[in-house]
Structure 1
Amino acid sequence: MKTKSVYKIIFVQLGEIYEVFAKQIYQSDMYGFIEVEEYIFNKDKQLVVDPTSEKLKNEFSKVERSYIPINSIIRIDEVNETGEAKIKENKGQVSPLPLNIQPFNKKD
């Protein structure tokens, strides 16, 4: 029996790099966005709590669905098991690419 897929989504948000895990990811009906549903957070009780992981849990705890702009996404991986959700400082030159999402009108 095939196990349910888990996705690791890495994207840029307000100058920081977010790494989250979710069970569902779709191309949105809203042009230029993907939909992310059913966020997964490590429920293990740890002695040392990562503050960025706690921040993500609080930020997404009541979120049913997120719409993330395609140009903010760095990478999406299908993984076998979840890891720790985290926020990384953008130390490099990672930034969203500009994306022209308006359809091209060709004048004849």
Structure 2
Amino acid sequence: MATIQPPLYKVIFYNKDEVYEVYARQIYQSDMYGFLELEEFVFGERSQLVVDPSEERLKNEFKGVKRSYIPFTAIVRIDEVEHEGQAKATEVKNAKVMPLRTLPPLPRED
């Protein structure tokens, strides 16, 4: 008899000048207004011969993190997937579209 796996989500979001793609078992709307909560991060096994430095950096960044709060305005996409892929952080260069939170402040009128 096959065991039922809990759902797995791929979450893509902006973080500073990068786009993060991470996998988590639990996502839900936070009690803190405007935030999404991610729990139970999933990373690839170390048994792979080729190690992606981007995934290793994310694995270290989220090591020991029980729960992460991501602003709704930073979310690009959320997919429910069957298998985890490679977590990665991609630098955004010359972006034509920016998340709402990174817009420069309006000039003050004195």
Specify the TM-score bucket, using the shorter chain as the normaliser: 0.7 to 0.9
Q: Write the distance in 1 (CA, Å) between the matches of 2:40 and 2:97.
A: 27
Shift of 1:45: 1.4
Match of 1:90 in 2: 92
Comparing 88-97 and 3-12, the one that deviates more: 88-97
Q: Tell me the percent identity.
A: 56
1:56 aligned to which of 55, 58, 65? 58
Q: Which amino acid aligns with 2:99?
A: P
Q: Tell me the C-alpha RMSD between the 2 structures.
A: 1.4
Which residues of structure 2 form unaligned runs of 5+? 102-110
TM-score (norm 2): 0.83
Match of 2:104 in 1: none
Q: Write the distance in 2 (CA, Å) between the matches of 1:94 and 1:81.
A: 29
Match of 2:20 in 1: 18
Q: Write the distance in 1 (CA, Å) between the matches of 2:97 and 2:21.
A: 14
Q: Write the distance in 1 (CA, Å) between the matches of 2:96 and 2:21.
A: 17
TM-score (norm 1): 0.84
Which residues of structure 1 form unaligned runs of 5+? 99-108
Q: Write the distance in 1 (CA, Å) between the matches of 2:46 and 2:78.
A: 24
Q: Secondary structure at the match of 1:25?
A: strand
Q: Given the superposition, is the C-alpha separation of residues 18 and 59 from structure 1 closer, same or farther in structure 2, using an over 3 Å criterion?
A: same
Contact 1:26 1:36 (8 Å CA) reproduced: yes
Q: How many residues align?
A: 98
Match of 1:81 in 2: 83
Q: Secondary structure at the match of 2:25?
A: strand
Contact 1:19 1:87 (8 Å CA) reproduced: yes
Shift of 1:2: 4.6
Q: Which amino acid aligns with 1:17?
A: V
Q: Which amino acid aligns with 2:28?
A: Y
